[in-house]
Amino acid sequence: MDTDNATGDISKSKNNNSSNEILNNLARLLGIEGIDDTTLALCYKLLDEGVDPKILAEKIKDIQKETTI
């Protein structure tokens, strides 16, 4: 077993959990409800790739409206 690789995997897992926790806290502070960890991670990746945050927020709100009707 490659202990360096295993240690790296554990470190990545801790970082991912920390990132998810931060994203969940941000969503809660912003009053965003009903978004799961996967969706938050996807939004983060989209923002990281340069998607306009305002447009992304508008689209999320549109989707939430459509799914609650």
Mean pLDDT value across the chain: 74
Residue ranges in the chain modelled with pLDDT below 70: 1-17, 69
Which pLDDT value is given to residue 4?
Answer: 52
Which pLDDT value is given to residue 41?
Answer: 83
> What pTM was computed for the model?
0.56
Q: If we measure between CA atoms, which residue out of 10, 56, 12 comes closest to residue 32?
A: 56
Rounded to whole angstroms, what are the CA distances from 58 to 13, 19, 62, 69? 31, 23, 6, 17
Task: Give residue 59's domain range.
Answer: 3-68
Question: How many structural domains compose the chain?
Answer: 1
